[in-house]
Structure 1
Amino acid sequence: MSAMPALTVYGLSQCDSVKRARQWLQSQGLDYSFVDFKKTPPSAAQISAWAEAVGWEALLNKRGTTWRKLDAATQASVIDAPSAVVVLAQHPSAIKRPVVEVGDRVLAGFDEAVWPDALSGFLR
């Protein structure tokens, strides 16, 4: 029997979406590791890989406080994946949370309607 790929959750420990996602994972009996952006910010290479996996538009949280507090010039500079990666590397709190890596899959944001199918190999 092959081992399950590791499940890693990235985000901010105080973020409500991250809290809900972690509670959901626990309620499903899923083991995961958690990486807090405040303590261990993601690298530009990691953000680039996430953007490639889910699309930079899905990774960028334009509804969040961090994005809204950025100056207009910074916001306007985000026009494609490379420019989004630069801004997200400087402001990891503007990343849609949580980001979940499971094997070669990446999920951005918590969606209770999508996660059961996306994580079906992990559910008991």
Structure 2
Amino acid sequence: MINFYCYPKCGTCRKAKKWLEDQGVDYHDIHIVEQPPTKAELKTIIEKSEWPIKKFFNTSGQKYRELGLKDKLANMTDDEKLSLLASDGMLIKRPLTVSEQFVTVGFNEKQFEQTWK
């Protein structure tokens, strides 16, 4: 089963959800603000993806800017970054789509085609 962490008002999330539905892909819809992934879940997801933790931050989000994270992340440990991501779903780039084998962050149709079809 695919866990699809999204924010219902997010246009990118709606496009990704429509793509999954159009392709007949089964997924579990999770509201990223009401039920953000835990610190342990994020650690597993990030390790599975083999991407740097910075890729998981919603760098264009209001919360990211409010907290001044552009300048602060470089001086934070990975553990501190994980705690921060787990504390607020709006800090996580979305949609975050996760299965036992794969992880995608954001929505890129070509990447979805290769990963989730």
- Please say if residues 67 and 75 of structure 1, whose CA atoms lie closer than 8 Å, have aligned partners that are also in contact: no
Number of residue-to-residue matches in the alignment: 114
Based on CA coordinates, which of the two structures has the bigger radius of gyration?
1
What does 1:27-106 align with in structure 2 at a 5 Å threshold?
27-54=22-49, 55=51, 56-70=53-67, 72=68, 76-77=72-73, 79-106=76-103
TM-score, normalised relative to structure 2:
0.84
| RMSD, aligned α-carbons | 2.0
TM-score, normalised relative to structure 1:
0.80
The residue aligned with 2:110 is: 113
- Please say if residues 20 and 26 of structure 2, whose CA atoms lie closer than 8 Å, have aligned partners that are also in contact: yes
Deviates more, 1:98-107 or 1:16-25: 98-107
Would the alpha carbon gap of residues 73 and 20 (structure 1) be closer, same or farther in structure 2, given more than 3 Å must change?
closer
Question: Residue type of the partner of 2:85?
Answer: L
Aligned to 1:113, the other structure's residue is in SS state: helix
In the alignment, structure 2 segments of 5+ residues that lack a partner are none
- Specify which structure has the higher proportion of helix: 2
Runs of at least 4 residues off by over 6 Å: none
Question: Residue type of the partner of 2:58?
Answer: N
- Please say if residues 33 and 88 of structure 2, whose CA atoms lie closer than 8 Å, have aligned partners that are also in contact: no
The residue aligned with 1:13 is: 8
Q: CA deviation at 1:99?
A: 0.9
In the alignment, structure 1 segments of 5+ residues that lack a partner are 1-5
Deviates more, 1:79-88 or 1:106-115: 79-88
Aligned to 2:94, the other structure's residue is in SS state: coil
Question: Residue type of the partner of 1:88?
Answer: L
Q: CA deviation at 1:77?
A: 4.6
Looking at structure 2, the residues matched to 13 and 63 of structure 1 have their Cα atoms a distance apart, in angstroms, of: 17
Aligned to 2:45, the other structure's residue is in SS state: helix
